[in-house]
């Protein structure tokens, strides 16, 4: 029996993903004729058509899509064999695919990644930024090795470890009544925030649900909103323009988008609970030892950052916002 080669499977996956022979050839670092010949050989081995070829477009057949999905699993397992062999002699080396959500990545990765590259120079880290639900799907399918998420969240049987606590703060326009009603630098109680004054991220961002749950504002989830932001940057700009108040995670406070904004940021008081930064991976992962090693590294890196730059202590171009 003649079996397909891994290279032929790579060619098929690239064509099915991109629906373009030229782009698929570029991804595989071969000529288009080499890729086309490889897929024809694969079709001959399997005795079935996998790709419909026309002058205008490239379409996978139903069987081609099914074979490509299975091929991804085969290719992932093949890479895992190589990475597992390397991991036995050199921890955190080879390919590692890490997912991260948008309300963590921009604020944590710039600090962590240089230190990680220095500590593990043989690690080939591939990053993907998506919302939590999508990252968990990618983890389950094997397209990711681990994900950096905000907890609590229903993980569907995944393993996880908490890396750091991430309390919520309140961001207000400088002249907002909430700022005037409390003392200098004092916390703002969640109960003092009017639901109609609250600006939130759109549905799908776990930060939205975490903030509302932490502040016991469950009714705000049902409130029809004229506008919902797609990013923390948009929220901060809306607050700076006097359109309302919002919640920010502590990890975002020392970022440029917050430090340079014309806003006031105060701790969130009352009985509010923080969210937690966590590393998540499949229970079936062969890399549990490396997952725990990475978690320990991230935990230390985050603790070092918090010790060096306590929330709100970085110099700001808008220093009066901390008043």
**Cα 275-306-127 angle, rounded to 5 deg:** 65
Determine the Cα–Cα distance for residues 110 and 113; give it in Å rounded to an integer: 6
Q: What is the DSSP letter of 121?
A: T
pLDDT of residue 75: 86
Determine the Cα–Cα distance for residues 98 and 298; give it in Å rounded to an integer: 13
pLDDT of residue 272: 72
pLDDT of residue 88: 57
pLDDT of residue 237: 92
pLDDT of residue 225: 55
Adjacent-strand bridge partners of 99: 128, 147
Question: Which residues contact residue 155 at a Cβ distance below 8 angstroms, ignoring those fewer than 6 apart?
Answer: 136, 280
How far, in whole angstroms, is CA 117 from its chain's centroid? 19
Question: Which residues contact residue 316 at a Cβ distance below 8 angstroms, ignoring those fewer than 6 apart?
Answer: 259, 260, 322
Structural domains of the chain sorted by starting position, each given as residue range(s) with its CATH number in brackets: 6-76 (1.10.10.10), 90-165+276-308 (3.40.190.10), 166-275 (3.40.190.10)
Q: Is 155 exposed, middle or buried (0-12, 13-18, 19+ CB in 10 A)?
A: middle
Positive or negative: CA dihedral 162, 229, 256, 184: negative
pLDDT of residue 314: 39
Question: Which residues contact residue 219 at a Cβ distance below 8 angstroms, ignoring those fewer than 6 apart?
Answer: 195
pLDDT of residue 322: 39
Determine the Cα–Cα distance for residues 154 and 142; give it in Å rounded to an integer: 18
pLDDT of residue 316: 40
Low-confidence ranges of the chain (pLDDT < 70): 80, 82-90, 183, 204, 214-227, 311-323
Largest separation between any pair of C-alpha atoms in the chain = 80
């Amino acid at each position: 029996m003649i079996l397909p080669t891994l290279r032929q499977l790579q060619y098929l996956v690239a064509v099915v993903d991109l629906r373009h022979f030229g782009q698929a050839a570029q991804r595989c670092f071969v000529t288009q004729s080499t890729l086309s010949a490889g897929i024809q050989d694969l079709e001959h081995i399997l005795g079935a058509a996998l790709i419909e070829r026309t002058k205008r477009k490239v379409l996978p057949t139903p069987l081609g899509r099914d074979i490509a999905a299975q091929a991804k699993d085969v290719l992932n397992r093949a890479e895992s064999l190589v990475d597992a062999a390397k991991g036995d002699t050199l921890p955190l080396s080879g390919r590692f695919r890490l997912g991260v959500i948008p309300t963590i990545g921009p604020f944590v990765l710039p600090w962590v990644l240089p230190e990680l590259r220095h500590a593990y120079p043989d690690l080939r880290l591939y990053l993907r930024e998506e919302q939590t639900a999508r990252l968990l799907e990618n983890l389950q399918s094997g397209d990711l090795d681990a994900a950096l998420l905000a907890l609590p969240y229903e993980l569907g049987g995944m393993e996880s470890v908490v890396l750091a606590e991430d309390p919520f703060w309140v961001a207000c326009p400088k002249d907002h009544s909430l700022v005037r009603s409390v003392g200098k630098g004092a916390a703002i109680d969640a109960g003092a925030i009017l639901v109609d004054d609250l600006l939130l991220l759109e549905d799908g961002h776990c930060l939205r649900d975490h903030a509302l749950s932490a502040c016991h504002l469950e009714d705000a989830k049902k409130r029809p909103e004229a506008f919902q932001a797609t990013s923390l940057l948009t929220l901060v700009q809306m607050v700076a323009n006097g359109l309302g108040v919002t919640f920010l995670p502590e990890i975002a406070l020392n970022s440029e988008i917050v430090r340079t904004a014309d806003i006031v940021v105060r701790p969130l008081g009352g009985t509010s609970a923080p969210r937690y930064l966590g590393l998540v991976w499949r229970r079936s992962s062969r890399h549990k030892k490396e997952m725990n090693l990475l978690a320990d590294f991230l935990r230390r890196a985050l603790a070092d950052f918090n010790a060096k730059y306590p929330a709100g202590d970085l110099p700001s171009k808008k220093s009066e916002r901390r008043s």
